[in-house]
Amino acid sequence: MNDNRSVIVMRAVQEIQDGMVVNLGIGLPTMVANYIPENVNVMLHSENGLLGIGPYPVTGEEDPDLINAGKETITAISGSSFFDSAESFSMIRGGHIGLAILGGMEVSETGDLANWMIPGKMVKGMGGAMDLVSGAQRVVVIMEHVNKHGESKVKRACTLPLTGQRVVDRLITDLAVFDFTKDGMVLVELQPGATLEEVRSKTDASFKTTTELERGVTC
């Protein structure tokens, strides 16, 4: 991972609490599994039919039959279980996933999420994201703050096809952490080295700040 992505992943790990059932989305979120502290007992869920995902396997010890939803080889922890996709999505739609950590292409100031396709580019399908944003008890999105062209991915309104409307509870970028409340989008933390001025200059969305941040103190 580059430094920006490392900052995002290490902050996302803090969202995971002991005893949770957690779904990690395809891409950057899958890296979170490698950094969960050993004293935190968590069951990682994959919508392709596994509860109890472990870290990535050591090179040379991969099992091609053990994969996550992103088709990456993984390991299974003691006590894990396997089931079909119908059972897996019943868990999601039944509200049994405590936390979903998903990647994002765009997030709007109202908590809309776009993360499943870019028009004109071939995609295999929408995956489980649309179910996760509506069925998980809490949705945290992690992504870099700007795209490769330097344009903000934190938008007033998403320009890409939506995965869900008003579904994001928390957004973690390489610059900041935002919460979405009934009063709007709120900046609650600055990432190490980031400044309030930088976040404002690189954010298309309108947001509020906490008193602590205005005083120059991170939450």
Whole-angstrom Cα distance, residue 128 to residue 68? 12
Phi-psi region of 125 (alpha: psi -120 to 50; beta: other; left: phi over 0): left
> By the 8 A CB rule, do 101 and 151 touch?
no
> By the 8 A CB rule, do 210 and 184 touch?
no
The length of the chain is 219
Q: Is 12 helix (H, G, I), strand (E, B) or coil?
A: helix
Q: Is 72 designated active site?
A: no
Pairing assessment for the beta strands 184-190 and 208-209 based on DSSP bridges? parallel
| Catalytic option among 15, 47, 109, 189 | 47
What are the b/e assignments for 136-163, b being 16+ CB within 10 Å?
beebbbbbbbbeeeeebbbbeebebebb
Tokens 């999601």 — which residue? 92
For residue 129, which of 154, 153, 109, 105 has the smallest C-alpha distance? 105
On the CB side of 191, CA atoms within 13 Å amount to 23
Active site residues: 47
